[in-house]
Amino acid sequence: MRRKSRSKVVAVGLCGVMAASVAVAAPAGADTGTAACQINLSDPWRSGDWVTTGANVNGCPDGPWSITLQRQRWYGWEGLASNRFYNGGGSVASWNCAGSGSHNYIGRLSGPGGTISTAQVRISC
């Protein structure tokens, strides 16, 4: 299966958040006071039996930052995997989906100033 790579690039300025290439809703209280904050957040993708989302941040407040992979269930969003990292780095959150069927997945990045989410991606395992 080919991986379709889509990522969100967000530049955070003194007055809030603006999208560099993809429209992204500003996190609540996003005024970080850091002029060159750049956030990259990837839509979930499947590779073999694994569903993964990833993020990295540069020039942003130290954090901690948290990347979380979630899938939609009848009762809401279920957290599947999560990792923490700090400014100047990045991480992925992966989950073994073997035999789990088809679900909508999202990635969520939380850090100083709020949370942003990827688009929902339907993945079958």
Within a 10 A sphere around the Cβ of 84, how many other Cβ atoms? 14
Peptide bond into 44 cis (omega under 30): no
State yes or no: pLDDT of 1 exceeds 60: no
Q: Is residue 1 part of a domain?
A: no
As a whole-number percent, the residues of the chain with pLDDT over 70 amount to 72
Domain encompassing residue 47: 7-124
Helix (H, G, I), strand (E, B) or coil at 115: strand
- β-pairing verdict for 76-85 and 65-73: antiparallel
Using DSSP, how many helices (H) and how many strands (E) does the chain show?
0, 11
Measured CA to CA, the distance from residue 2 to residue 46 in angstroms comes to 9
Residue 61, domain member (yes or no): yes
Q: Please answer whether residues 88 and 40 qualify as being in contact, where contact means their C-beta atoms are separated by less than 8 angstroms.
A: no
Q: Report pTM.
A: 0.74
Q: Is residue 88 situated within a structural domain?
A: yes
CATH number of 44's domain: 2.60.40
Q: How do residues 10-61 score in pLDDT, each as one tens digit?
A: 433 322 332 222 323 335 455 545 468 999 999 999 999 999 999 999 999 9
CA angle 80, 116, 38 (to 5 degrees): 115
